[in-house]
Structure 1
Amino acid sequence: MKLVNYRLKNDFSLNRIGIMRDDKVIDLSKGYAQMKLKENNLASIGVFPSDPDQFYSNGKAILEEAKKIDAFLQKEPPEYQYKKEEVVIGPPVPNPSKIICVGTNYAEHIAEMKGVVPDYPVLFAKFNNALIGPEDSIYKTDQTEKLDYEAELGVVIGQKASNVKQEDVFEYIAGYTIANDISARDLQKRTLQWLQGKSLDHTTPIGPYIVTVDDIPNPNQLNIKSYVNGEMRQSSNTKHQIFNIPHIVSFISELITLEPGDIILTGTPDGVGMGMNPPTYLKLGDKVRVEIEGIGMMENEVVAPRQ
């Protein structure tokens, strides 16, 4: 199941949670009402959250209900579905309580950055101001001349997680998505802390949807690629991560209680602009595409911020 955050192009009200199927978006909360009416079960119709953030805050129980709606709508024609060109797709979780990123998690990327393989996962944070949707533009401000791309697998938490054992991690994951951890290298490297180069406004595309955990049985073996203006820059596989998904989620949960809807970015492979000879950074007009096996792709253009 592919969960998507969307709004109709001519409707600027709050975004809604939907299912993406065959390039169409199906409204989940309206599908829920359709299912209950079909069952002639109006007494238990209740309220199904339409807001994406509220949806994920309900944890695994709401994900199970979404699967039932999806199964129903595969048999019954959805009353509320829209062509992809009729909607605007936003970041799957618009306002996660936490965005936790893992740095230096592929050995070849560490080598190109002239780093050292860490003994423990290297963690840093992003904030919601950086998040954009899979079709939005990446902003390049005058503050940086070294804007770089980083293709990453994103993990979305499905239920509250604290001190989770590695063997139990997948029970706590809602699903997976694509992320591009755009980094201002000049700002990132001018101090020991990376934050200022990692959380610039409007710089972190995520999407195009969340593929639920049951549809990706092994996230530790997915091809991951990035392209700039059609030229392949990164090509690797998540099997090359130093710390895999169970290790990362378990490790973080021992330090920080993870909440439903929290996003973890799991690191990027080699091939980033800073590692090229000579270093080659993003410029205005560049289009960056990221692809991950089993999830899909997203492409974003680099533009100057709107005045």
Structure 2
Amino acid sequence: MKLVTYQHHANISIGKVDGDLVIDLPRNDPSLPATMKALLEAGPQAIARARAVQAGHAVALSEVTLLAPLPNPSKYLAIGMNYRKHVAEAAKVGVQTPPTQVWFNKQVSCINGPFGDVHLPAVSNQLDYEVELCVVIGQRCRHVSREAASSVIAGFMVCNDVSVRDWQLATQTMTIGKSFDTCGPTGPWIVTPDELGDPHALRLQMWVNGELRQDDMTGAMIHDIYDQIAHLSTAFTLEPGDLLATGTPSGVGVAMNPPVYLRAGDVMRAEIEGIGSITNRVIAEPM
């Protein structure tokens, strides 16, 4: 099942994609919540009701604007240095290999839609791209074992961990440089685990202006998704709608010689096999 948050004229709602249609969930089943976060919080029974909804109130996919599937997650966490080749290229610019999982926050105000513009900050010319597989947590959980981790996942999205490199590297936490407004494109929808299959056997790619920059398999993660969930849930509770960005492969602009950063007018296209793609244009930050 592909779950979307969408806008049709003045109406914003949630639905599921069926071929070239978006089937509205709360209009077809008034017992279902009206937002994606509330749907996930309602639990597996609500997801099962959503899966059972038939085409009644529906609109052509081509006629809607797809928004960020989860515009208001409680947490947006991302792991750094989690692909082998990316670790190797980072070492060339002086970044040390971490001995354990390294996580940072992306402030949730950075969330952007799958086709929204990304702002080139007025205070920096070091904007960079990072295609990543995004995990959506579906259940409130703590102390999740690796073996049980798959059971707490609601689905998967494409995300682009857009980074302002000079601001990122200026602090140990990296949070500010990872959290500029618009620097969190996600989507185009949440694909449920039953439809996606093995999340560690997916090809992920990033194009900039049609040039392939990143190309790898999710199986090249150093710490896989289930280890990530087990690690994080040891420290704190994960909640429905939390987002986990699982790392980016090699090919980022900062690691090129010389570095190649994004400019206004550039178009990023991030794609993951079995999920789809998101496309975001870089524009000068409106002042």
| Cα distance between partner residues in 2 of 1:126 and 1:159 | 21
| Cα distance between partner residues in 1 of 2:52 and 2:21 | 18
Q: What are the equivalent positions in structure 2 for 1:95-110 lying under 5 Å apart?
A: 95-110=72-87
Q: 1:141 aligns with which of 91, 115, 121?
A: 121
Q: 1:17 aligns with which of 14, 33, 37?
A: 14
Matched, 1:165 2:159: no
Q: 1:30 aligns with which of 27, 30, 34?
A: 27
SS in 1 for 2:50: helix
Q: CA deviation at 1:228?
A: 0.1
2:174 maps to which residue? 194
Q: Deviations over 1:242-272 (max 9, x none)?
A: 0001100111111110001110000000000
1:88 maps to which residue? 65
Q: CA deviation at 1:198?
A: 0.2
| Cα distance between partner residues in 2 of 1:68 and 1:81 | 14
1:180 maps to which residue? 160
Matched, 1:249 2:229: yes
Q: After TM superposition, where is structure 1 displaced by more than 6 Å over at least 4 residues in a row?
A: none
2:217 maps to which residue? 237
Matched, 1:124 2:124: no
Alignment check: 8 A CA contact 2:37 2:240 kept: no
1:263 maps to which residue? 243
| Cα distance between partner residues in 2 of 1:28 and 1:305 | 35
Distance 1:59 1:144, change over 3 A: farther
Q: CA deviation at 1:88?
A: 1.4
Structure showing greater Rg = 1
Q: 1:210 aligns with which of 190, 207, 222?
A: 190
Q: Deviations over 1:88-139 (max 9, x none)?
A: 1111111011111111101211111113333321100012210010011001
1:56 maps to which residue? 40
Q: What are the equivalent positions in structure 2 for 1:282-301 lying under 5 Å apart?
A: 282-301=262-281
Residue type at the aligned position of 1:278: P
Alignment check: 8 A CA contact 1:18 1:27 kept: yes
Of 113-122 and 239-248, deviating more is: 113-122
Normalized against structure 1, the TM-score is what?
0.90
| Cα distance between partner residues in 2 of 1:249 and 1:217 | 18
Q: CA deviation at 1:300?
A: 0.5
Residue type at the aligned position of 2:21: K
1:39 maps to which residue? none
SS in 1 for 2:29: helix
Q: CA deviation at 1:304?
A: 1.7
SS in 2 for 1:219: coil
Q: Can you give the 5+ residue segments of structure 2 that lack an aligned partner in the other structure?
A: none
Number of residue pairs the alignment of both structures matches: 284
2:7 maps to which residue? 7
Q: CA deviation at 1:217?
A: 2.1
Alignment check: 8 A CA contact 2:122 2:285 kept: no
Alignment check: 8 A CA contact 1:165 1:250 kept: yes
RMSD over equivalenced CA pairs, Å: 1.2
Residue type at the aligned position of 1:68: A
Q: Deviations over 1:182-240 (max 9, x none)?
A: 00001111222201110001111000000001112210111000000000000000100
Q: Can you give the 5+ residue segments of structure 1 that lack an aligned partner in the other structure?
A: 34-46
Alignment check: 8 A CA contact 2:32 2:50 kept: no
Matched, 1:112 2:109: no
Residue type at the aligned position of 1:263: L
